[in-house]
Amino acid sequence: METATARIDSSLEDAQDLLNYQSDKMNWETFKFKCLQRHSKFNDGNISTDYAEWIEVQKSNTLSNSSSGSFFTALADFDNIGCEYDDNAYQYYYKKRKLLNF
């Protein structure tokens, strides 16, 4: 569960930072840096080139945050977090997302 909660926290922090970027509270480079740093925690401290490229490509994703194909959904949806489903992890995710109001 520890890894699952860490991945959930990381993904929801990425989603919150995306909202901050979208509302001009953070610039793109800071947003990208923070996402890559968080991602590296799950990759032995390394930053995946594929993930870095994916983040960069998402900059031009113009779908609304409520769309299933949006950058926000890719970051914040439980199915995309990369942890195995279990009831405890999902309940933790649901509570954290509710606290963040998204």
Does pLDDT of 10 surpass 60? Answer: yes
Does pLDDT of 81 surpass 80? Answer: no
Dihedral sign for Cα atoms in the order 61, 67, 69, 75? positive
From 10-14, 36-40, 90-94, the region with the lowest mean pLDDT: 90-94
**Can you give the pTM of this predicted structure?**
0.85
Cα dihedral 87/77/68/14 (nearest 10): 180
Using CA atoms, how far apart are residues 17 and 89, in angstroms rounded to an integer? 22
Does pLDDT of 28 surpass 80? Answer: yes
